[in-house]
């Protein structure tokens, strides 16, 4: 089996590839090769039996994507994207990467006669826009109120139509906000959700730009990888014609997040979070959904954490060696 990962140097892409290298198989088949593609080259352990190739490039360059698809990977994970805050700030760049890049991939697949790979497309709950009901069910309409959400919604429609026409076997995943993200803060408007946990756990201060009453839908990086692998392995007929799924997660307020941090790491750690309101971030977050009933995805076997303590503990185990810093 050959696998192509677009967005391989990003957090989910990197963790996905690391898991695949450990597992060694997918869909009951031995993984022979992984092609890891992103705007920068990722670094992966290439000491095992799986041939891993890293490549830097631009998903918006058609010829580049054509060459990647010409190798006919069995499974394509399309995780490459400009994140929400950056897509809102740079209108042209957001559409170039998030829409043109997706179109390049889908059209390259059409160009390969007799080729129908499984495509796992990373979408987002940003495809939904306010006003929201208390809980959003699977039948809720898509009316995104950000450029990022619009780009992802278009990608979902394209994936469903290309799958209907038999050009690919696609599944779109509307990821919750993924926390706690390791590393440095990124340009995503949702970045503070990770910052207020990750930084205090490392003994650093963090800024909370919204009110503690703000609620959001979240899952861990560990769950994000599980989502991708499960999506790759699902039977297409079981998924049915509705190819885009809202994934399970945890609805929790920022105040409850900080309480969970205190319960695990103590009051001094929680006190490292300071409230500094940011009108721009508050305005963006106000248009985000807060709670979902992800019935279809759960029926198909997707699952996520039930408490925020589980999410924090996953970060400690996966990124801090299982121990809190002294």
> Does residue 254 contact residue 214 with C-beta atoms inside 8 Å?
yes
| Matching residue, tokens 């805050």 | 85
3-state secondary structure of 184: coil
Distances (CA, A) of 308 to 175, 203, 287: 17, 20, 23
What is the rounded distance in angstroms from the CA atom of residue 322 to the CA atom of residue 27?
Answer: 30
**Strand 75-78, strand 51-56: pairing:** unpaired
Smallest CA-to-CA distance from 21 within 43, 38, 39, 37 is with: 43
Instruction: Please tell me which residue in 95, 121, 148, 162 is annotated as part of the active site.
Output: 148
> Does residue 317 contact residue 270 with C-beta atoms inside 8 Å?
no
CA angle 215, 216, 222 (to 5 degrees): 140
Distances (CA, A) of 263 to 111, 150, 260, 306, 319: 54, 38, 5, 16, 19
What the block records as the tokens of 157 is 């429609």
What is the rounded distance in angstroms from the CA atom of residue 82 to the CA atom of residue 13?
Answer: 14
Smallest CA-to-CA distance from 171 within 162, 180, 181 is with: 162
Distances (CA, A) of 246 to 52, 68, 140, 301: 31, 29, 10, 12
Smallest CA-to-CA distance from 118 within 30, 237, 10, 38 is with: 237
Helix runs in 56-146, H state only = 62-70, 84-89, 91-95, 101-110
What is the rounded distance in angstroms from the CA atom of residue 11 to the CA atom of residue 13?
Answer: 6
148 catalytically annotated: yes
Active site residues: 148
């Amino acid at each position: 089996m050959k696998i192509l990962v677009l967005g391989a140097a990003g957090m989910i892409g990197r963790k996905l590839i690391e898991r695949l290298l450990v597992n060694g198989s997918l869909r009951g088949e031995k993984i022979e090769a992984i092609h890891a593609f992103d705007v920068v080259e990722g670094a992966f352990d290439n000491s095992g039996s799986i041939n891993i190739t890293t490549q830097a490039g631009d998903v918006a360059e058609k010829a580049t994507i054509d060459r990647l698809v010409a190798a006919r990977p069995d499974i394509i994970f399309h995780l490459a994207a400009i994140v929400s805050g950056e897509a809102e700030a740079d209108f042209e760049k957001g559409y170039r990467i998030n829409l043109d890049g997706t179109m390049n991939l889908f059209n390259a697949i059409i160009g390969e006669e007799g080729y129908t790979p499984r495509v796992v497309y990373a979408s987002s709950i940003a495809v939904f826009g306010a006003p929201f009901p208390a809980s959003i069910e699977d039948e809720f309409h898509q009316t995104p109120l950000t450029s990022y959400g619009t780009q992802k919604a278009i990608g979902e429609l394209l994936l469903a139509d290309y799958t209907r026409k038999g050009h690919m076997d696609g599944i779109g995943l509307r990821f919750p906000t993924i926390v706690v993200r390791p590393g440095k803060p990124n340009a995503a408007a949702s970045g503070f959700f990770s910052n207020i946990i990750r930084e205090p756990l490392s003994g650093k201060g963090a800024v909370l730009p919204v009110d503690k009453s703000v609620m959001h839908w979240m899952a861990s990086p560990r769950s994000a990888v599980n989502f991708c692998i499960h999506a790759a392995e699902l039977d297409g007929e079981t998924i049915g014609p509705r190819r885009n799924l809202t994934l399970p997660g945890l609805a929790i307020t920022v105040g409850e997040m900080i309480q969970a941090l205190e319960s695990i790491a103590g009051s001094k750690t929680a006190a490292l979070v300071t409230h500094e309101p940011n009108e721009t971030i508050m305005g963006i977050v106000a248009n985000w959904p807060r709670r979902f009933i992800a019935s279809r995805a759960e029926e198909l076997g997707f699952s996520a954490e039930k408490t925020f303590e589980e999410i924090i503990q996953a970060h400690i185990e996966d990124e801090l060696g299982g121990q809190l810093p002294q």
